[in-house]
Amino acid sequence: MKPYLHKFVQKHVLLLLLSFTILSNTSAQSFMFGQKVKWEVGLNFGPSFFLGDLGGNSGKGTNDIKDINLEFTKMMKGVFVTAYPKGWLGVRLAADVTYLQGSDDIITTTGIDELWRKQRNLDFKTTVLEGYLALELYPTMMLRRDKSYEPKLRPYGLVGVGVFHFNPKGSLTDASGNKTWYALQPLRLEGQGMTEYPNVKPYKLTQINIPLGAGLKYYASERINLSTELLYRKTFTDYIDDVSAKYIDPNNFSKYLSAGDAVIASKLADKVQPIIFPGMTRFSEGTQRGDTKNGDTYFSVVLKFGIRLGPLNDNSVLRQTRCPSVY
């Protein structure tokens, strides 16, 4: 595992353990919720998917599910701790790591919209580190008439707020076919922070997101449960893939970057393949490079493994086998 991933895992596992230690104190529970709180810790893993400017399928590029490229499906892994002050309410603290990737090169259809993106010929990859705080809402637990009834199978919704860190990299391939990846944000490929392009602002690599999702939890025993969960992240950036606005004049790179970086930036900013216009070597300044109307986003479909901590109730999950009454 890379050093920064070691630091990420250590930092967030310690954070989760510290949170558990503080919040599991009986007096803290009473102060926060006015009653004893149930606790759960666990792990999750499953595929994550990127929706942005690069890659996609037939038609115009969108942020819709139709433009998922399964070739770039990556595995998300994470840890979580959840407090349950009520049977219908959970408060989750979680940390995840995943990888996102996109490329125009994999587009296979031949419509004009697809050929334009294939001619653009851009790519990216990034590690994403995230942490979030979210509320889990269990409608069947909220609506149950018999409060002693605890069903084994529980659907739930999820909403929260999080922080994520990314660092997009793009590739250049040499004459021998060797590919080298470069961090894109410092190279200002769309003129970020240049006086010639005052409307193109620099972007930060650490941003806020809004997790939104739903899941289904199954209690295999009084202490162990399994869940499957779909979690979408609403973000407020269009630069997870470092593509958003328009092509700039490559001569401007030398004004803001070192000589070596200016050469690399010029190559990475415009990797045109002359598919539609044979002999074309560069896009002209002001030509659309990305789509500013739709921000980038990502989502995951994970399997969660949870363990309840502490003493169990007399009205245990396994003893409750009858159908629920909700009215």
pTM (2 d.p.): 0.84
Predicted confidence at residue 18, as pLDDT, reads 53
DSSP secondary structure string, 177-233? S-EEEEE-GGG-TT-TT-TT-TT-----SEEEEEEEEEEEEEESSSSEEEEEEEEEE
Question: Measuring CA to CA, which residue among 87, 78, 173, 72 is closest to residue 125?
Answer: 72
* pLDDT confidence tier of residue 318, bands split at 50, 70 and 90: very low
Helix (H) or strand (E) holding 263: helix 259-269
Predicted confidence at residue 317, as pLDDT, reads 44
- pLDDT of residue 26 exceeding 60, the answer is no
Task: For each of the domains in the chain, give its residue range(s) and CATH number, in order of start.
Answer: 3-309 (2.40.160.20)
Phi, psi angle pair for 45, to nearest 5° = -155, 150
Cβ count near 205 (within 10 Å): 15
Predicted confidence at residue 97, as pLDDT, reads 98
Residues 239 and 296 sit within 8 Å (Cβ to Cβ): yes
Phi, psi angle pair for 53, to nearest 5° = -80, -25
Residue with the bigger pLDDT between 277 and 272: it is: 272
CA 60/CA 42 separation, integer angstroms: 40
If DSSP codes are grouped into helix, strand and coil, which group holds residue 277?
coil
Q: What region does 55 belong to: left with phi over 0, alpha with psi -120 to 50, or beta?
A: left
Predicted confidence at residue 211, as pLDDT, reads 98
DSSP secondary structure string, 173-188? E-TTS-EEEEE-GGG-
pLDDT in tens, 100-151: 999 988 887 777 777 888 889 999 999 999 999 999 999 998 888 777 778 8
Question: Measuring CA to CA, which residue among 87, 1, 99, 105 is closest to residue 40?
Answer: 87
Highest mean pLDDT among 10-24, 51-65, 137-151, 235-249: 235-249
CA 46/CA 300 separation, integer angstroms: 7
pLDDT in tens, 157-190: 999 999 999 999 999 999 898 999 999 999 999 9
pLDDT in tens, 276-300: 778 888 999 999 999 888 889 999 9
pLDDT in tens, 67-108: 677 788 899 999 999 999 998 999 999 999 999 999 988 887
* pLDDT confidence tier of residue 319, bands split at 50, 70 and 90: very low
